[in-house]
A and B are shown apart, each in its own frame.
Chain A
Amino acid sequence: MATKRTIEVALSTSGLDAEGRPQRVPLVVDGGGSVTTLEAPPALEPELEGEHMLLNLGPQHPATHGVLRLVLELDGETVVRCIPHVGYLHCGFEKIGEYRQYNQIIPWTDREDYLNSPGNNVAFALGAERLFGIDITPRCTVLRVIAMELSRIISHLVWLGTTCIDIGAFTPFLWAFQERERVYNLLEGWVGARLTTSLTRVGGMAADIPDGWMDGLNSFVKTFPKTIAEVDKMVTRNGIWVGRTIGIGAMSADEAVNYGLSGSMVRAAGVAYDVRKDFPYLEYETYDFEVPVGSAGDVYDRFLVRMEELRQSVRILEQASKRLPDGPVNVDDARVILPPKSKATSEMESMIHHFKQVMEGPRPPAGESYVAVESPKGEKGYYMVSDGTSKPVRWRIRPPSYVNLSAIPKMVEGHLLSDVIAINASIDIVMGEIDR
């Protein structure tokens, strides 16, 4: 006999309860998975009683940054209740990862937070290397720092542009995207890909930087702050911008910590938590940069914090480009690194090695590893468990956007519909990462 269980479904269109909220309708789910409603289906024309309006903001809406769906209960234009719905972009990355070798998972990390592909690649490689017990070369360390900071700039530029659009200023969007194109040109020169870079490999990088690449980076680092300054002039002290952002979606430091927020969200609330400073990786402790911290945790503070992070990323890039050492990029570890192609086609041992590497993949010792990095959205973690085979038995992402998004009902309730858009933009979500 199929077991039946009753669950409450959040919202129905059938009517309002005593408090003026939409009624919760009990649904019965039987073992076969089919859902039957205990109630008569709602009439086509719902009765026009009650004051509140339900508004589906998304999944198809220009300002929900993908396929986020917010069910808003509006009193006039004031939000009484907000229920976020996620999952429209679920791809099962983590499950797919269980059937892929470690290097084969790297292209999947490109696609979850697709604005931060190089950063994800680096973070995953760090996790896998911890599992393998590999120490990467000094040149690789600096190159990875450059990759992470470039991807932070890309991601923050998209955030900046879309936030400006969401608050009505269209022009900074295109300025930001022009700068972003320059970063993508750099990445294209490095690995050939722009958006989905797959930049790293376990134990090294997919490629060393080509000759003259650092010149391109240096010219970007020189001219990019001018664009930030220009956007600053356009919006930072603009009366309308300030009026739209100050005091909107404020989170106190306690609330931000209790909700598990990270990244710019928690820093804007006044908590100076930055994984790069607190749990350094890639020798970040040796770089001279500051962690901007806000005070009120509102949309305006998040804006200021992220703008400052752009400048700090430029500082890190400057330092990294000065200290980039010569030497090999990949570790000298036959477990993970392929032999040179010339040897693989001429020497028997190298050919066997190459064949085993490609067909079976590198095998880490049994164990588990967790690596957290400061992604542009917040603390991003990769957790992987190995049973000694070439594929992880479990791979799990700690998505900062998802945790940050969970605070949206707290932030938007009581604000106007226009503020929902501003707050949502300030969280800086990427649905690929949230739904995975």
Chain B
Amino acid sequence: MTDVLPGVHALLLAADPQGPMNFWPWLVFTAIKMLVFFTIYMLGVAYLTLAERKISAWIQHRHGPNRVGWSGFMQPLADGVKNFMKEETMPPYVNKALFVLAPMLAFIPAMTVWAVIPWGAPWASPWGRVEMVLADLPIGFLFIIAIASLGVYGIVLAGWSSNNKYALLGGLRSSAQMVSYEISMGLSLIPILLFTGNVTLSSVVNSQASMHMWNVLTLSIAFLLYFISAFAETNRLPFDMPEAESELITGYHTEYSAMKFSLFFIAEYANMATQSAMLATLFFGGWDVPFTQADNTGAVSFPLVLLSMALMMAKTLFFLFVYIWVRWTLPRFRYDQLMSLGWKILLPTGLGYIIVVASLMLGLDAAGIERGFVYGLIFLGVNIVLVALFMVFLDRGKILSAAYGRASIGELQRLRDITTSRTRLSTTAGD
């Protein structure tokens, strides 16, 4: 009790709104933030499943779930209850320890990365400056990459321990896929690192605000690479090779049921939410309120905090919508196409782009141009050219060409010439 009283005392004490908090207010605010952020996160992920079903229904001209609650609003709850009530199955000859461990390994990293994403401008509270992030780690997005890559262990172990060939193939595919695309994802982040000079996400947001331009405009190629890799990292269509429900039943979680399956499911949606928030933060200005500087100079008033949080939320929701939209529009890549896209296109592009960005920055700094709007405009111009080149190079008339109407005979012949050269893989044994 004697410890609590000075704490309460300190809580009531006013402090410098721009300065750091004392220990006890910090503890209280952290606890509140944890509760609020993770409640929103878990509810958000649950309702993301409903959103996916509703949006897919909208795309496919049907109603979607509409029985439970108002217009199906309670459907996630019913699904949750169902998953708890269902039987936990365990096939014979599985590696029991790993079989149980795998869903946890997939689930925990997906939850953890959420802690470092900044959700709003810092609040100038009477008790000191409150950062709208659970842990503003100095290693910033490196932490996210490191933790998110741990998720692959869950998938690989699930595939391996299930004693099922489909699950094994799913696990193998996912390990290859996620390892490959992590590289291009990491490479796409290096230009941001060069720009910001720092890996913390709050400085990424601030650097975009100080340039009056989002990174998506100044570092468009990096955005494209990150965007593609994010789809591959979350195992979403068109990169859902590890699941590939028409080929591998459901891939690595074929043998899982009830809550163990549900953990994989939640982990997938949680990863989507994280990657959407990352896209919003890294390339779309994060919580920055556009056309104002007030929110970047220090802690701000509570309404402005709420506004910045709403902006961040809106951007995140937009990318979540894009995830869902893409899933219900595109077909699935084949495994070898996916790997060649990762290694032959994204990786060299990422490397080349780092060189371009670094040399351009060196040149502009030598020319004495300040980091600001003009600096951003020059980058924008260069990026428009680069994106045009990238499209021509990546596309070569097949990947990003308009999926519209019927192809002419000449075009078909051209497509066929491009593709037939690399079908029919050689077989090592057999006839």
Contacts and interface: CB of A to CB of B under 8 A. Distances in A.
Interface string A28-60: 000000000000000000000001110100000
A61 interface: yes
B430 A244 contact: no
B237 interface: yes
Given A236-B403, A246-B416, A416-B336, A168 B237 contact: yes
A238 B337 CA distance: 14
B244 A418 contact: yes
B328 interface: yes
Interface stretch (A72-80, A196-204, A212-220, A397-405): A72-80
B246 A421 contact: yes
B60 A174 contact: yes
B246 A168 contact: yes
A416 B334 contact: yes
Contacts of B407: 236-237
Contacts of A429: none
B337 to A, nearest CB: 6
B165 interface: yes
Contacts of A81: 430
A232 interface: yes
B291 interface: no
A12 to B, nearest CB: 17
B2 interface: no
B330 A414 contact: no
Interface-centre pick from A53, A62, A170, A417 (highest chain B CB count, 10 A): A170
Given A62-B246, A168-B244, A247-B423, A232 B405 contact: yes
Contact of A415 (B166, B425, B431): B425
B61 A178 contact: yes
A19 interface: yes
Given A52-B429, A171-B328, A236-B405, A62 B244 contact: no
A234 interface: yes
Contacts of A53: 165
B169 A417 contact: yes
Contacts of A165: 246
B401 A168 contact: no
A239 B403 contact: yes
A317 to B, nearest CB: 21
Contact of A239 (B169, B401, B404, B425): B401
Contacts of B59: 171
B335 A80 contact: no
Contacts of B169: 77, 417
B391 to A, nearest CB: 12
A164 interface: yes
A269 interface: no
Given A165-B246, A247-B419, A247-B424, A240 B430 contact: no
A413 B402 contact: no
Interface in B104-158: none
B62 interface: yes
Contact of A233 (B337, B404, B426): B404
Nearest to B409: A295
Interface-centre pick from B237, B399, B425 (highest chain A CB count, 10 A): B425
Contacts, number: 153
Contacts of A62: 245-246, 249
A241 B332 CA distance: 8
Contact of B429 (A19, A168, A235, A241): A19
A309 interface: no
A168 B332 contact: yes
Interface-centre pick from B62, B246, B399 (highest chain A CB count, 10 A): B246
B89 interface: no
A227 B14 CA distance: 66
Nearest to A307: B406
Contacts of B423: 246-248, 415
A149 interface: no
Contacts of A166: 246
A149 B291 CA distance: 62
A418 B425 CA distance: 13
A172 to B, nearest CB: 9
Interface string A168-198: 1111001100100000000000000000000
Contacts of A55: 165-166
B164 to A, nearest CB: 11
B419 A242 contact: yes
B334 A175 contact: no
B331 A244 contact: yes
A388 interface: no
Nearest to B330: A240
B398 interface: yes
Contacts of B429: 19-21, 51-52, 75, 80
B427 A169 contact: no
A243 interface: yes
Contacts of A19: 429-430
A233 B405 contact: yes
Given A244-B332, A244-B334, A421-B246, A235 B427 contact: no
Nearest to B166: A55
Interface in B372-431: 395, 398-407, 415-416, 419-420, 423-431
A235 B245 contact: no
A246 B415 contact: yes
Interface in A139-179: 164-171, 174-175, 178
Contacts of B336: 416
Given A51-B428, A246-B415, A61 B249 contact: yes
A418 B402 CA distance: 25
Contacts of B430: 19-21, 73, 75, 80-81, 413
Contacts of B337: 240, 243-244
Given A21-B430, A237-B401, A243-B333, 16 more contacts: A51-B428, A53-B165, A62-B245, A78-B427, A164-B331, A167-B332, A168-B244, A169-B329, A232-B405, A234-B403, A236-B406, A237-B406, A243-B398, A244-B337, A247-B416, A416-B335
Interface of A: 19-21, 51-53, 55, 61-63, 73, 75, 77-78, 80-81, 164-171, 174-175, 178, 232-244, 246-248, 296, 413-419, 421
18 contacts: A21-B430, A51-B428, A52-B429, A53-B165, A75-B429, A80-B429, A165-B246, A168-B238, A175-B61, A178-B61, A237-B404, A238-B403, A240-B337, A242-B419, A247-B416, A247-B424, A416-B336, A418-B332
Interface of B: 56, 59-62, 165-166, 169, 237-238, 240, 244-247, 249, 328-337, 395, 398-407, 415-416, 419-420, 423-431
- Pairs of residues from A and B, 5 with the lowest C-beta to C-beta distance, nearest first: A168-B332, A239-B399, A247-B423, A238-B403, A174-B60
